[in-house]
A and B are shown apart, each in its own frame.
Chain A
Amino acid sequence: MNAPTGLDFASIPERIQSEVQRAIQRSIKGVEYFSTSGPSLGSTPKDVLHSRGTMSLYHYRPMSDEIYRVPVLIVMATTNRGYILDLVPGQSFIEFLLKRGYDVYMLDWSAPRPEEKSLRMEDYVLDFIPDCVRRVQADSGEQDVSVIGYCFGGVLSLLYGAIHKDGPMKNLICFTTPIDFREMKLFSNFSDRRYFDVDRLVDSVGNVPPEMILSSFEMLRPASRTVSQLQLWENIWNDEFVKSYRMFDRWATDTLPLAGEYFRTITKDLMWDNKLFNDTMSVGGRAAKLQDIKVPFLHAVAEHDHIVPYEAAKHLIAKIGSADKEEVMLKGGHVSLVAGANAVKRLWPKLDSWLGKRST
């Protein structure tokens, strides 16, 4: 029975008992948390097809009796590890694709070594990606390759597709990919050309340290880390919550350094001059215009993306030259769009229905 205030007095003893039990569980699970490692991530069976410095190309072992003709190459963002797309069974995008009959390859990155500070945008767009595409073709025996790029992996895929307009890319899918860098307001302010001396930074440190990349991401939502730690303590009795927290926290803090020259180009060409948006971008002297991409194209964006706000991504669909193109906005944030419980219900089935009919 509710009191006039709406407070249910009858349930108070039950509630106190439940909170006491949770407090006990928190103490037990809290000890467990610090004495155990998190779940094993990225464990879908795979072979390393090729590895060269910062670049690794994986092939995942098929999980269905019949696969689509066209293989899929996933290009991961250069700031983060690819296992965000292969968390644990049941929450792995890779596993989902394999079970739906795709032949999946991933171009993943490891931390560039100090001597790789001289890697340029050209190395990524005109060497690493084409090299991986050739190896996927050789390994699969197919000429056509579909490319999926996540975040800045999407930017690299766009540059690759715009320059290699005669193929062999058959379909292009971008997840949360920015093209209008003026609209990444805080990043834009952090790298304000009047105050940010990118030459001095790169000349001093070589590769841009991961701590700097991580803190620039965290500064976008400075209170969120503290709040998420409070939420962890509050929910530490809940094994599913803790498992999910550990997966995402480990990935988010496992940020990669960026090769110095590559970072210099990103800052000058994209952050300062917004060349991709202005159709003036070139890589190694080769023009990269989005209108030159003519293959079927899907862009998935997240409604609550604080890293790549919609304003930074929304013009991509109009600028792409493809006749067959679609933008889909789904609930979620920058990471929850592609990974975790919500992605299982939202993005993955959408991608499957779009890509399946274009993969035969």
Chain B
Amino acid sequence: MTDKTNDPVAMWQKMMGEMEKGFNSFANQTMSSPEFSQVVNRAGGVAAGAQKQLGELMEKYLVTMNLPSREQVTGLAERLQSVEAQIGEIKSMLSRMAAGSGSPQGVDAVPRPPRTRRPPSDGDQT
């Protein structure tokens, strides 16, 4: 059996593990500084502003090209979802009616197991 301390693969793995820990620790220290927060948030603020402007530009472009805007597409999606939800409700109601009782049996209308389970006593593995 190869000695782990001299196994090149094990040594490589150990080195990678140590490097990962060291780099993460160093990066965490750097990122804990207020200066880091200031720089990152300044960059983030610029990116968010640019994203907003790009969005507005795209809206204008879509109108020019006579294409539906995002608002119109999401309006359609919302209506579609509302229809889907209603179909789900109807399906659920039909399943209950098919089960022939008002008792709660869930949308699958398959009889559920009885709610009689007791916890196993200590030492019982079931």
* Docked complex: B30-66 residues within 8 A CB-CB of A: 31-34, 36-38, 40-42, 44-45, 48-49, 51-52
Do B119 and A359 touch (CB < 8 A)?
Answer: yes
Do B113 and A67 touch (CB < 8 A)?
Answer: yes
Cα-based distance from A7 to B2 in the complex (angstroms)? 7
Q: Does A280 have its Cβ within 8 Å of any Cβ on chain B?
A: no
Do A190 and B40 touch (CB < 8 A)?
Answer: yes
Do B3 and A200 touch (CB < 8 A)?
Answer: no
* Given known contacts A11-B2, A51-B85, A189 and B31 CB-to-CB distance under 8 angstroms: yes
Q: Does B9 have its Cβ within 8 Å of any Cβ on chain A?
A: yes
Contact of A195 among B17, B37, B48, B110 (CB under 8 A): B37
Contacts of B112 in A (CB 8 A): 62, 67, 103
Do A66 and B117 touch (CB < 8 A)?
Answer: yes
Among A30-38, A42-50, A166-174, A294-302, the stretch in contact with B: A42-50
Q: How far is the CB of A216 from chain B (nearest CB, A)?
A: 10
Contacts of B115 in A (CB 8 A): 66-69, 103, 142
Q: How far is the CB of B62 from chain A (nearest CB, A)?
A: 14
Contact of B34 among A65, A194, A219, A220 (CB under 8 A): A194
Interface string of A242-255 (1 = CB under 8 A from B): 00000000000000
Contact of A222 among B16, B24, B92, B118 (CB under 8 A): B24
Q: Does B114 have its Cβ within 8 Å of any Cβ on chain A?
A: yes
Q: How far is the CB of A66 from chain B (nearest CB, A)?
A: 4
Do A8 and B37 touch (CB < 8 A)?
Answer: no
Contact of A113 among B5, B27, B42, B77 (CB under 8 A): B77
* Docked complex: B88-126 residues within 8 A CB-CB of A: 88, 92, 103-104, 106-108, 110, 112-120
- Chain A interface size, as a band, is 35 or more
Q: Does A40 have its Cβ within 8 Å of any Cβ on chain B?
A: no
Contacts of B14 in A (CB 8 A): none
Cα-based distance from A346 to B33 in the complex (angstroms)? 37
Cα-based distance from A139 to B40 in the complex (angstroms)? 48
Interface string of B1-39 (1 = CB under 8 A from A): 111011001000100110110011001100111101110
- Chain B interface size, as a band, is 35 or more
Q: Does B79 have its Cβ within 8 Å of any Cβ on chain A?
A: no
Do A190 and B48 touch (CB < 8 A)?
Answer: no
Contacts of A51 in B (CB 8 A): 81, 84-85, 88
Contacts of B78 in A (CB 8 A): 113, 115
* Given known contacts A224-B24, A227-B16, A114 and B70 CB-to-CB distance under 8 angstroms: yes
Q: How far is the CB of B21 from chain A (nearest CB, A)?
A: 8
Contact of A64 among B24, B33, B117, B119 (CB under 8 A): B117
Do B49 and A8 touch (CB < 8 A)?
Answer: no
Do A65 and B113 touch (CB < 8 A)?
Answer: yes
What is the chain B residue whose CB lies nearest that of A64?
B113
What is the chain A residue whose CB lies nearest that of B35?
A195
Do B108 and A360 touch (CB < 8 A)?
Answer: no
Q: Does A230 have its Cβ within 8 Å of any Cβ on chain B?
A: yes
What are 24 A-to-B residue pairs whose CB atoms are below 8 Å?
A8-B1, A51-B84, A51-B88, A59-B106, A61-B108, A66-B114, A101-B117, A103-B115, A115-B74, A139-B104, A186-B31, A189-B32, A190-B31, A192-B38, A194-B38, A196-B41, A204-B48, A204-B52, A205-B51, A212-B44, A220-B28, A223-B19, A234-B13, A360-B117
Measured CB to CB, the residues of B under 8 A from A are 1-3, 5-6, 9, 13, 16-17, 19-20, 23-24, 27-28, 31-34, 36-38, 40-42, 44-45, 48-49, 51-52, 70, 74, 77-78, 81, 84-85, 88, 92, 103-104, 106-108, 110, 112-120
Closest 7 pairs (CB-CB, A-B): A356-B119, A141-B104, A223-B23, A204-B48, A195-B41, A204-B52, A101-B117
Measured CB to CB, the residues of A under 8 A from B are 2, 5-8, 11, 15, 19, 47-53, 59, 61-62, 64-69, 101, 103, 113-115, 138-142, 185-186, 189-190, 192, 194-197, 200-201, 204-205, 212, 219-224, 227, 230-231, 234, 353, 356-357, 359-360
